[in-house]
Amino acid sequence: MSVTNRLRIILLVAGTLLTGSAPSLTAQSNGDAGMPWEAAKTATLKKFDGRPHSAQRVEPFKIVDNVFYVGLETVAAYLIPTSDGLILLDTTYADTADIVIDNVRKLGQDPARIKYVLITHGHADHVGGAGRIKEMTGARVGMSATEWDSIERLRGDQANGIRLMRDLVIKDGEMLTLGDTQLWLYVIGGPTAGNMVAEIHAVVAGRQFRTVLGVTLEPSSGTTAASLRSVERLRELGPWDAFLPSHPYLAPSAVPVTARQAFGLEAMAANPTKQAPLVGAQRVNAYLDQIRSTLQTRSR
């Protein structure tokens, strides 16, 4: 399989607000209207509406040499192995934290080696499992100051998860190093004021690709202007070779049924010459520009 075919990346982030219980998956705002992911998101969430979060279990899989998928069908969690331990990006819901940990084990990794848990933003489907995973691993939990504020102000228990105490506060432009791996962290705002993204040099067959992780571009009521600013900041920080979505249905592919299909893994296995979604700066920029154009139209 070619280098291009092995690189399949996009990471955008959204989720439900911190609440005492998870709302219906289809109870979404109309902020997705006209967005490139609208059909895929609608179809995927409808499939799991009314079902327990555990029904979204996914077998873990490799995306690139240094990024693995350990999340659910509707919300991502990514594992980044390094020479000195593991980094976990997002944790899914409070009641699916054990699924994430099981997936880490299935990849042959020891969850006790998780040194950092990075949270893109404080919605329950991203931060809910953080308390449980910290309890099991002793990892440091990091997010922006604004997201820590939000968690502490709303309740602090991540939708019935284990309560988190403020730990690592991520600052815009900060670099996190663990072993042989560096992550550059940017607080770009968007639908949540403290939304954070991470830059990693994704590795495929010895080659590096500048990749952005953890972008939230799904606007909700009242966040169009903030989402537009976050897209423009992303363009300024680029160019990006690729980016991974925190929700698989956000990948610009045919309406996905599974997370693996959303990342193009099955299609590429059947047709090794098929290009993965959003590989290359030109394709990434075109996708971001499409989103920006829709947001600009709404803000007029």
For residues 10 and 244, is the Cβ–Cβ distance under 8 A? yes
Q: Which CATH topology does 3-299 take? A: Metallo-beta-lactamase; Chain A (3.60.15)
Which DSSP category does 112 fall into? G
Sequence-separated contacts (24+) of 52-57 with Cβ below 8 Å: 52/95, 53/22, 53/92, 53/93, 53/95, 53/96, 54/95, 54/96, 54/99, 56/96, 57/96, 57/99
Question: With pLDDT > 70 as the criterion, what percentage of the chain qualifies?
Answer: 80
Residues 262-272: what's their mean pLDDT?
51
Distance (Å, whole) CA 283 – CA 270? 22
- For residue 18, pLDDT over 80 is answered with no
What is the per-residue pLDDT across 161-185, written as a single tens digit (0 to 9) for each?
Answer: 788 899 999 999 999 999 999 999 9
Beta strands at 78-82 and 207-213: parallel, antiparallel or unpaired: unpaired
pLDDT digits (tens, 9 = 90+) for 235-255: 999 998 877 878 888 876 656
Round to whole Å and give the CA distance between 198 and 172: 10
Name the token pair of 132. 């449980």
What's the pLDDT at 40? 86
Please tell me the pTM assigned to this model: 0.86
Question: Is 1 buried (19+), middle (13-18) or exposed (0-12) by CB count in 10 A?
Answer: exposed
User: Do 141 and 163 meet the contact criterion of CB atoms below 8 Å apart?
Assistant: no
| Domain range list for the chain | 3-299
